[in-house]
């Protein structure tokens, strides 16, 4: 056990952090958009300058590997720039105007101008699997800062040193660009009580969380049971079903098998959008597909998982799956080995068994997936109809599959936040059209996204100014 | 007691209503925008055709008077037209596109198109005080129908016959315009268990509620504790403080007193935006203002309240206020008289007493308000800082008040959904810039509005389509 570098914050420290976030809310939101843009760009610059050290440190704590971490850091930098542009343009204010109509009948209409305001201090609770992009300075933090919300980040205990390094860089940027000192703060904590205290603190205006379903559900209830309930946004992962239609399976089976296994095994399957299910219909394409899947799995290397907790959970859930399902490719992990080295494991089950068992619908966080063999199109559709919400859903179809795809598409679309035509879901590109959210239990509020430009909508509310004169004091504030 | 015309729905009927709303969701959302627009316009036409009968019936049930009810019906018709335009334009889909960048480094970017989809069946629970505009066919229902959500309205038991009349008209429009028969349904119920069952039903995707803080809080918790939590939007009324600055008080005292009393007494004070507090600072303007207030109150007529429950609650809360405050204008009601006739009552208190007492911060639904006399500017500001969320806040200031107004404005703005410069808050004009919402406890989610064009945002969520070909099947669905 390495030395515990970052002790848990005390209740007093949490209180102090939230109170000082609250105190600096007025001066921080008053900063011109250009100034907050400079602050975000300064963070981006420091990330770029320190990229080698950051990647080294994050790899020590997460074992995600240099290539992945370099890509992730690059994405994080581009997100900071996206939100710097937003802060500068002030488009997040979404101004709306209606002129007065003093002679309107039956009653005159006053002039109205509506603009978004920041909600207040935002608490960010990042994920274990993205030490840069869903951590101290990802979409959550960058979008909240862009609109003028002070941010208190809860460091992930499994990569606390990376979090502290990032936080140090942000604090340098705060100073360098003259922002209020407490517009950004980091809180350390292994104990759940620390996260709970942050969610329950009266100064917390909104929470952005990425993590487990269990954790998200518990915190969502807390947020709702406060004296003053607050919006709680959790992204809790999902099954991300992939529906392969018969002609696509027959025509592209080999490529699909390779891409499927690559998607399941990507970064040891530790992705919110890892395909946890692949559904197909019994027919001539199935056995060859299973064969190619076995081939592909046999070529994968076992990879080191994020940390001991993740490794333990993965072993436990795959042990459960193995007790009721056929392991069609890959092999069981050795739960006792010290390298937390995970093998890719693909299970199979029949459609009718899948329909009966709710245990098979729990996300296995790691390189495992289930192939569901449906006896016919009706069972395929029935399963689509029985699915809970997911971040993503995918359809692989050829033109000859059109009739079935037409039945399937609206069913899947009504249960996901992102619908893929071909391709596999891992990987999110942050931009204007990005939507990383989905119906419960993928997120607590499917109307919002935790990645991409519109992530800021979680942190603003409209205020309508009525009857304000067009000049003078009222315009100055 | 008149004959009970509309018995409470049975659990079976509630279940049937929600299941049939769910079943007709796919065909209803597939209707072209133009068709849903025709449906909404057909309802508007029927309301117009039946306006005299509707007003007569609603007046029997609410005692709001013909003039007010005619205005309210007119507003309701204009809201139906607003949302018919929205349905036709399909602007609610808020389409966003990003082209693919196959050569992008380090990884190619897929094409993404994001569009809003309707959430599913919406339950609408209307208010006692707006039998047309916040009832069967107001913003809640019209905006949900515009975007393709089937609606189940819970009839208000105090104006159940008006609700049924309106629902009959909507059902005629459903038939006339060929909409799925269960895209709109009405459920009757006096018992709270019926509302709870609607909020808890697994087919309910979202709830829009207008009513009491107590009711809204209880239902909000239920919505969050479901197996699948759903968004619950409650508009629960508020104190709507009015801040009168010294020079405004001295210069315009008489007009302000008249307008204040008119706003307090409007429709017997049964408005979510009735000013429940008027704050001023001791000085030469105060005594004359109180005198004009007394004059104005003495000229008001007592008016019949909505129903026995509202009358009883109003008597109870004004009795409480009278026990600790000075009744500066108006007189106590006779709680035993049968006409539920309410007198306008204006109380006064000192700023320091107001700061100590949380009882004074409960909305008194009816023609009562409290004048808070602050000893100086600091106390005035301290009270502004101590306010909870409200739907509205108002500032009356003259140029000489600028310094104080500058301190005050951001404090009030951070606590309200609508900020008025001069004027008084009752009356909402539905449009693009309308925001009828506010921080807790005014609403459960200050980021949304229950009146005005953007009311539809409660009922839609974005879905991103990734990698879809530009033609063929994928575009057809």
Catalytic residue among B24, B128, B149, B272: B272
A235 classed as catalytic: yes
Question: B-chain residues within 8 Å CB-CB of A440?
Answer: 228-230
Q: What is d(CA A184, CA A142) in angstroms, rounded to the nearest whole number?
A: 11
Structure tokens at B360: 């004074």
Mean pLDDT in residue range B51-71: 96
| Of B191, B194, B208, nearest in space to B126 by CA | B208
Q: Would you state the pLDDT for residue B361?
A: 87
Longest distance between any two alpha carbons in chain B, whole Å = 81
B429 touches chain A (CB under 8 A): yes
Question: A-chain residues within 8 Å CB-CB of B441?
Answer: 228
| Of A206, A210, A240, A234, nearest in space to A220 by CA | A234
Q: What is d(CA B240, CA B417) in angstroms, rounded to the nearest whole number?
A: 10
- The three-state secondary structure class of B391 is strand
Beta bridge partners of residue B207, listed in sequence order: B123, B232
Catalytic residue among A235, A250, A363, A379: A235
Instruction: Say whether pLDDT at B474 is over 60.
Output: no
B51 touches chain A (CB under 8 A): no
Over the stretch B397-433, which tens digit does the pLDDT of each residue have? 999 999 999 999 999 999 999 999 999 999 888 889 9
Q: Would you state the pLDDT for residue A2?
A: 45
Fill in the DSSP letter of residue B443. Answer: B
| Of B207, B216, B233, nearest in space to B21 by CA | B207
B399 touches chain A (CB under 8 A): yes
Domain extents in chain B: 11-236+443-476, 241-421
The chain A residue lying nearest B447, using CA atoms, is A461
Q: Answer yes or no: do A422 and B473 touch at CB < 8 A.
A: no
Sheet holding B416-421, edge to edge: A96-98, A112-118, A460-466, B416-421, B390-396, B241-244, B277-281, B368-374, B345-350, B326-330
pLDDT cut 90: percent of chain B above it: 88
B423 touches chain A (CB under 8 A): yes
pLDDT in tens, chain A (477 residues): 344 579 999 999 999 999 999 999 999 999 999 999 999 999 999 999 999 999 999 999 999 999 999 999 999 999 999 999 999 999 999 999 999 988 887 778 889 999 999 999 999 999 999 999 999 999 999 999 999 999 999 999 999 999 999 999 999 999 999 999 999 999 999 999 999 999 999 999 999 999 999 999 999 999 999 999 999 999 998 999 999 999 999 999 999 999 999 999 999 999 999 999 999 999 999 999 999 999 999 999 888 999 999 999 999 999 999 999 999 999 888 877 778 899 999 999 999 999 998 778 888 999 999 999 999 999 999 999 999 999 999 999 999 999 999 999 999 999 999 999 999 999 888 889 999 999 999 999 999 999 999 999 999 999 999 999 876 655 444
Task: Give the model's confidence band at B472: pLDDT under 50 very low, under 70 low, under 90 confident, else very high.
Answer: low
Q: Would you state the pLDDT for residue B198?
A: 98
A11-236+443-476 and A241-421 agree in CATH topology: no
Q: What is d(CA A300, CA A321) in angstroms, rounded to the nearest whole number?
A: 20
| Of B7, B84, B3, nearest in space to B47 by CA | B84
The chain A residue lying nearest B118, using CA atoms, is A414
| Of A83, A81, A104, A102, nearest in space to A92 by CA | A83
Q: Are B46 and B165 in contact (CB under 8 A)?
A: no
B220 touches chain A (CB under 8 A): yes
The length of chain B in residues reads: 477
Catalytic residue among A128, A272, A344, A374: A272
Q: What is d(CA B170, CA B147) in angstroms, rounded to the nearest whole number?
A: 17
Q: Which of residues 105-124 of A touch B (CB under 8 A)?
A: 106-107, 109-110, 112-114, 117, 119-120
The chain B residue lying nearest A441, using CA atoms, is B228
- Which residue of A419, A432, A465 is in closest CB contact with B419? A465
Domain covering B11-236+443-476: architecture? 3-Layer(aba) Sandwich (3.40)
Q: What is d(CA B95, CA A216) in angstroms, rounded to the nearest whole number?
A: 30
CA angle A301, A304, A310 (to 5 degrees): 130
Q: Which residues contact B145 (CB under 8 A, 6 or more apart)?
A: B36, B39, B40, B83, B87, B151, B183, B184
Tokens 């197909």 map to which residue? Answer: A280
Q: Would you state the pLDDT for residue A265?
A: 95
Task: Give the model's confidence band at B473: pLDDT under 50 very low, under 70 low, under 90 confident, else very high.
Answer: low
Q: Which of residues 358-397 of B touch A (CB under 8 A)?
A: 388, 397
Mean pLDDT in residue range B133-153: 97
Q: Would you state the pLDDT for residue A477?
A: 46
Instruction: Say whether pLDDT at B476 is over 60.
Output: no
Over the stretch B200-215, which tens digit does the pLDDT of each residue have? 999 999 999 999 999 9
Q: What is d(CA B27, CA A410) in angstroms, rounded to the nearest whole number?
A: 11
Q: Answer yes or no: do A421 and B474 touch at CB < 8 A.
A: yes
Question: A-chain residues within 8 Å CB-CB of B460?
Answer: 447
Residue from B229, B234, B431, B442 to probe the interface with A (highest A Cβ count within 10 Å): B229
Q: Answer yes or no: do A439 and B461 touch at CB < 8 A.
A: yes
- Reply yes or no: is the peptide bond before residue A441 cis, omega within 30 of 0: yes
Instruction: Say whether pLDDT at B156 is over 50.
Output: yes
Mean pLDDT in residue range B114-143: 97
A366: left (phi over 0), alpha (psi -120 to 50) or beta: left
Distance from CA of A122 to the nearest CA of B (A): 15
Q: Would you state the pLDDT for residue B146?
A: 98
A282 classed as catalytic: no
Q: Strand A345-350 vs strand A326-330: parallel, antiparallel, or unpaired?
A: antiparallel
- The three-state secondary structure class of B20 is helix
Q: What is d(CA B158, CA B131) in angstroms, rounded to the nearest whole number?
A: 9
Instruction: Say whether pLDDT at B1 is over 60.
Output: no
Per residue, the 3-state secondary structure of chain A, as one string, reads CCCCCCCCCCHHHHHHHHHHHHHCHHHHHHCCHHHHHHHHHHHHHHHHHCHHHHHHHHHHHHCCCHHHHHHHHHHHHHHHHHHHHHHHHCHHHCCEEECCECCCCCCCECCEEEEEEECCCEEEECCCCCCHHHHHCCHHHHHHHHCCCCEEEECCHHHHHHHHHHHHHHHHHHHHCCCCHHHEEEECCCCHHHHHHHHHCCCCCEEEEECCHHHHHHHHHHHHHCCCCCCEEEECCCCCEEEECHHHHHHHHHHHHHHHHHHHHHHHHCCCCCCCEEEEECCCCHHHHHHHHHHHHHHCCCEECCCHHHHHHHHHHHHHHHHHCEEEEECCCCCCCCCCEECCEEEEEEHHHHHHCCHHHCCCCCCEEEEEEECCHHHHHHHHHHCCCEEEEEEECCHHHHHHHHHHHHHHHCCEEEEEECCCCCCCCCCCCCCCCCCCCCECCCCCCCCCHHHHHHHEEEEEEECCCCCCHHHHC
Beta bridge partners of residue B370, listed in sequence order: B277, B347
Q: Which residues contact B23 (CB under 8 A, 6 or more apart)?
A: B182
Beta bridge partners of residue A117, listed in sequence order: A461
Q: What is the mean pLDDT of chain B?
A: 94
Domain covering A241-421, topology: Aldehyde Dehydrogenase; Chain A, domain 2 (3.40.309)
Q: Which pTM was predicted?
A: 0.96
Dihedral of CA atoms A288, A292, A298, A302 in degrees, nearest 10, equals: -120
The chain A residue lying nearest B95, using CA atoms, is A433
Dihedral of CA atoms B85, B88, B91, B93 in degrees, nearest 10, equals: 130
């Amino acid at each position: 056990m390495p030395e515990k570098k970052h002790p848990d914050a005390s209740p007093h420290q949490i209180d102090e952090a939230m109170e000082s976030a609250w105190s600096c809310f007025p001066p921080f939101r008053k900063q011109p958009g250009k100034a907050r843009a400079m602050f975000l760009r300064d963070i981006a610059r420091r990330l770029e300058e320190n990229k080698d050290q950051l990647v080294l440190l994050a790899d020590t704590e997460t074992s995600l590997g240099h290539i992945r971490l370099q890509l992730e850091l690059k994405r994080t930098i581009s997100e900071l720039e996206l939100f710097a542009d937003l802060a500068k343009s002030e488009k997040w204010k979404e101004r709306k105007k209606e002129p007065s109509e003093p002679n309107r009948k039956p009653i005159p209409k006053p002039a109205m101008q509506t603009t978004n305001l920041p909600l207040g201090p935002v608490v960010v609770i990042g994920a274990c699997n993205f030490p840069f992009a869903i951590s101290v300075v990802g979409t959550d933090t960058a979008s909240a800062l862009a609109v003028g919300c002070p941010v208190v980040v809860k460091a992930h205990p499994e990569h606390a040193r990376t979090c502290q390094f990032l936080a140090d860089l942000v604090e340098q940027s705060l100073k360098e660009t003259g922002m209020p000192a407490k517009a950004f703060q980091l809180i350390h904590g292994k104990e759940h009580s620390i996260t709970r205290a942050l969610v329950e603190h009266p100064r917390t205006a909104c929470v952005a969380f990425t993590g487990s379903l269990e954790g998200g559900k518990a915190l969502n209830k807390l947020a709702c049971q406060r004296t003053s309930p607050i919006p709680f946004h959790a992204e809790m992962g999902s099954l991300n079903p992939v529906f392969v239609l018969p002609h696509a399976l027959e025509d592209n089976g080999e490529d699909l098998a390779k891409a499927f296994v690559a998607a399941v095994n990507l970064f040891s399957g530790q992705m919110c959008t890892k395909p946890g299910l692949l559904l197909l219909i019994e027919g001539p394409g199935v056995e060859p597909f299973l064969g190619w899947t076995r081939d592909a799995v046999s070529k994968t290397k076992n990879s080191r998982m994020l940390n001991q907790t993740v490794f333990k959970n993965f072993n436990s859930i795959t042990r459960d799956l193995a007790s009721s399902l056929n392991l069609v490719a890959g092999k069981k992990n050795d739960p006792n080995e010290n390298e937390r080295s995970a093998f890719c494991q693909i299970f199979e089950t029949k459609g009718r068994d899948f329909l009966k068992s709710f245990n098979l619908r729990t996300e296995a966080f790691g390189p495992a997936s289930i192939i569901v063999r449906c006896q016919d199109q009706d069972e395929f559709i029935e399963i689509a109809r029985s699915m809970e919400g997911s971040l993503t859903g995918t359809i692989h179809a050829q033109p000859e599959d059109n009739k079935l795809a037409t039945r399937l598409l609206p069913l899947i679309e009504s249960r996901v936040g992102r619908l893929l035509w071909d391709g596999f879901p891992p990987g999110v590109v942050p931009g204007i059209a990005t939507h990383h959210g989905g119906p419960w239990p993928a997120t607590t509020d499917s109307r919002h996204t935790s990645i991409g430009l519109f992530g800021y909508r979680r942190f603003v509310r409209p205020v309508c100014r009525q009857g304000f004169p067009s000049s003078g004091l009222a315009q100055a504030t």
